């Protein structure tokens, strides 16, 4: 019985996430905003939960954690597809690799700075 309840909660959470993604996609499509629809959808979900004062249901959190846990698997088809690109892009590989390495380093550095700022002692927060 618990498994069917968990499955229904997972489907309900997935439906909510897909609903907000769809709303974000519609906003992107009709407004021409150059931001991915899923990003707009997640911002709208955040704003809905924050501004309404409604706390996130536990089942929605479980759905999000489940999806994040399996997120690396979602990148496999895209990564495999890169290997089958035609040779017409062979001269672009140095630029592609450079951008990937540089953006990774920038992300790591930015994360380190933000974490250092967030984890500073409480006395520094007040000043």
Rounded distance, CA 61 to CA 125, Å?
29
Q: Dump pLDDT digits (tens) for 32-79.
A: 999 999 999 999 988 998 888 777 778 888 888 888 888 888 777 777
The dihedral through the CA atoms of 19, 24, 25, 26 has a sign that is positive
State pTM to two decimals: 0.58
Looking at the structure, tell me whether residues 4 and 53 fall in a common domain: yes
Domain count, the chain: 2
Q: pLDDT: is 122 or 18 the higher one? A: 18
Same domain, yes or no, for 5 and 29?
A: yes
Residues 19 and 54 occupy one common structural domain: yes
Domain hosting 53: range is: 1-76
**Hey, is 55 helix, strand or coil?**
coil
Same-domain check for residues 8 and 40: yes
Based on the domain organization, do 107 and 58 belong to the same domain?
no
């Amino acid at each position: 019985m618990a498994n069917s309840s968990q499955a229904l909660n997972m489907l309900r959470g997935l439906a909510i996430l897909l609903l907000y993604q769809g709303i974000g996609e519609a906003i992107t499509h009709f407004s021409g905003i150059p931001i991915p629809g899923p990003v707009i959808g997640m911002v709208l979900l955040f704003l809905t939960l924050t501004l309404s004062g409604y706390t996130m249901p536990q089942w929605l959190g479980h759905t999000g954690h489940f999806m994040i846990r399996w997120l690396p698997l979602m990148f496999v088809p895209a990564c495999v597809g890169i290997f089958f690109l035609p040779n017409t892009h062979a001269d672009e590989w140095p630029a592609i690799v450079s951008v990937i390495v540089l953006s990774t380093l920038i992300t790591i550095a930015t994360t380190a700075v933000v974490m250092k700022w967030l984890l500073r002692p409480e006395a520094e927060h007040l000043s």
